[in-house]
Structure 1
Amino acid sequence: MTGRKDGWAGMVWESWADHDDVTRRLDEGADPDAWSGGRPLHRAASWGSPRVIAELARRVMDVDALEDGTTALWKAVWSDRPDNARALAAAGADPWKPLIGGWSPGRLSLAGPTPDLFGVPEGMRGLSLVERTTARAGARLVAALADLHYEGTGLACVAGIDAEEAARRLEATPADPEVLKQLREEPWAYDFDPNLQIVGVTTVRGGCIVTQPWGYAPSTRGVLTRLSAGTVCYGLYANPKSGDQGKIARNGSLEGSDLNPGGSPDPGDSPDEVLASYLYRHRAVAYACGFTGLRLTDARAVAGPPDAWVELPRRDDREQ
């Protein structure tokens, strides 16, 4: 059942923390196993409270029922809701049930901010050395970019080359100081198309970043394929209208587009992809940097000022 027929009409995210309302709906016949095509327990795991979790958990058919390949306990871990995770475990949810990419909610929690959430039972595999190292690097990168405002920004994260080499590959020239001054003061006051020719380039540990605080140029095919010759590049455009859009270029070819950096993993993702999605959940810029092995200590390479402002030549293949 979906919509009004399932008894959950009018529910919004904060409603799942209202124990009295949820209980009333359940007593009046709301379906504990169905809500608008999904599962109420999954919604409560992400947005609700331990009391609501306990109420729903005692009424559902299966506390470990799947939605999009994950359990409610996975959702609680993913959403950084340790109290909800503990309530689900107390209600019988299995922290060690393998799910997407072979990861269980328990193993995933070991890579997050509450590694002692469940404890590792005897005989159960914890994190490998590589996974622990990856998790620590991810936490540092997320912290370095914690206060970054990046809506409307385009960037390309490139492994293994510096800013000077990036400018050479792009055949870029130094930007006109006067045009740059006006553009930086009022980026939206001028004709948009010429502004797309100007980007910032900055060397960071592990490679470099090409950035444009006012446009998508660094994430276009022509820029990414040139930058990725002999290496890998992750392009990101934080589209104010449609959200974060990612692309992957490797060895001069575009191999992935219309990606959702920082989003939830897909059921067919590899273990490494699932771990990266968890470490950089809702952190698209950190995801792009982490994908290419860049190790930033602050947000300057993205937000500016860059090492240098350069102007790109006009090419048809720079179009998205």
Structure 2
Amino acid sequence: MRKPGREAGEEGRRLVAALGEFHHDGFGPACAAGIDAAEAVRRLGGTPVPDDVMEDFLDDPYAYDMDESPRLVGVTTVPGGCVVARPRGYAPQMPGVLALLSVGTHCYGLYANPKSGNQGSVARDGTLEGGDLHPGDGPDEDDGPEEVLNSCLYRYRYRAVAYAYASAGLRPTDSRAVLGPPDVWVELPDRDYWSR
């Protein structure tokens, strides 16, 4: 349900403040409405990653080629749903991941591409509805009223991560789903996530 203007504006300010300032180049979250971390892991078929493997990865995520380790993701429950995220990489925004997470609900995926800017995707009930979106960069000429308000009036301009959270209706109280540690680190099964 769409919030009235003032309420949405207040929520936008609260969300931006809760997330705070952080460097997000290379970051990739998928924000899923109405499911928790356990359900997200179940839908994705994720298996827990040993602490020592994650410690090695997190010590220097830039030492790994994204194509060699794209399947490691953190999953965190937040008010309104959950966030599947990766500190460096596009795994959460892959179409197959978004399709699995969005069954019976909707989600917004983001990859903060350091080379070409923020790239967003929307999935609803297992189907990718939009891709190559530019969250937080201002409205596009084809955007509807809600997208225009989200990008400009509600303080999400230049705040791509906050825009992704808001688009899925998530209401985190802090930046833990972004900066960690997540509720659980999992490895996604080896499958084709690009052809969904």
TM-score, normalised via structure 1 length: 0.58
**1:311 to 2:187 alignment:** yes
**Pair 1:271–1:193, CA change in 2 (3 A):** closer
1:244 and 1:189 map into 2 onto residues whose CA distance is 22
Instruction: Report Cα offsets for 1:71-127 as digits up to 9, x if no partner.
Output: xxxxxxxxxxxxxxxxxxxxxxxxxxxxxxxxxxxxxxxxxxxxxxxxxxxxxxxxx
1:207 and 1:269 map into 2 onto residues whose CA distance is 25
Amino acid at match of 2:141: P
Specify the alignment match of 2:87 in structure 1: 213
132, 138, 149: which is aligned to 2:12? 138
Matched residue of 1:188: which SS? helix
1:145 and 1:319 map into 2 onto residues whose CA distance is 32
**1:187 to 2:187 alignment:** no
- Counterparts of 1:38-77 in structure 2 under 5 Å? none
203, 207, 213: which is aligned to 2:77? 203
2:66 and 2:149 map into 1 onto residues whose CA distance is 38
**1:299 to 2:175 alignment:** yes
Instruction: Report the alpha carbon displacement of residue 174 of structure 1 after superposing the two structures with TM.
Output: 0.2
Specify the alignment match of 2:145 in structure 1: 271
Specify the alignment match of 1:176 in structure 2: 50
1:287 and 1:316 map into 2 onto residues whose CA distance is 28
1:148 and 1:319 map into 2 onto residues whose CA distance is 32
**Residue 217 of structure 1 contacts residue 318 of structure 1 at CA under 8 Å; is this kept in 2?**
no
- Name the structure with the higher helix share: 1
- Counterparts of 1:114-153 in structure 2 under 5 Å? 130-153=4-27
222, 232, 238: which is aligned to 2:106? 232
Instruction: Report the alpha carbon displacement of residue 213 of structure 1 after superposing the two structures with TM.
Output: 0.4
Matched residue of 1:209: which SS? strand
Quote the RMSD (CA, aligned, Å).
1.5
222, 230, 233: which is aligned to 2:96? 222
- Name the structure with the higher strand share: 2
1:223 and 1:298 map into 2 onto residues whose CA distance is 24
Structure with higher Rg: it is 1
Q: Which runs of 5+ in 2 are unaligned?
A: none
2:168 and 2:67 map into 1 onto residues whose CA distance is 29
Amino acid at match of 1:144: A
**Pair 1:317–1:268, CA change in 2 (3 A):** closer
TM-score, normalised via structure 2 length: 0.93
Instruction: Report Cα offsets for 1:252-281 as digits up to 9, x if no partner.
Output: 000000000011112343222211111210
Amino acid at match of 1:257: G
Instruction: Report the alpha carbon displacement of residue 177 of structure 1 after superposing the two structures with TM.
Output: 2.0
Matched residue of 1:224: which SS? helix
Instruction: Report the alpha carbon displacement of residue 191 of structure 1 after superposing the two structures with TM.
Output: 4.7
1:307 and 1:283 map into 2 onto residues whose CA distance is 24
1:227 and 1:134 map into 2 onto residues whose CA distance is 25
Specify the alignment match of 1:156 in structure 2: 30
Aligned length in residues: 192
Amino acid at match of 1:221: P
Amino acid at match of 1:282: Y
Instruction: Report Cα offsets for 1:133-154 as digits up to 9, x if no partner.
Output: 1111111001112212211011
**Residue 226 of structure 1 contacts residue 252 of structure 1 at CA under 8 Å; is this kept in 2?**
yes
1:135 and 1:192 map into 2 onto residues whose CA distance is 36
**Pair 1:136–1:195, CA change in 2 (3 A):** same
1:283 and 1:190 map into 2 onto residues whose CA distance is 27
**Residue 224 of structure 1 contacts residue 233 of structure 1 at CA under 8 Å; is this kept in 2?**
yes
Amino acid at match of 2:189: P
Instruction: Report the alpha carbon displacement of residue 179 of structure 1 after superposing the two structures with TM.
Output: 1.3
**Residue 150 of structure 1 contacts residue 303 of structure 1 at CA under 8 Å; is this kept in 2?**
no
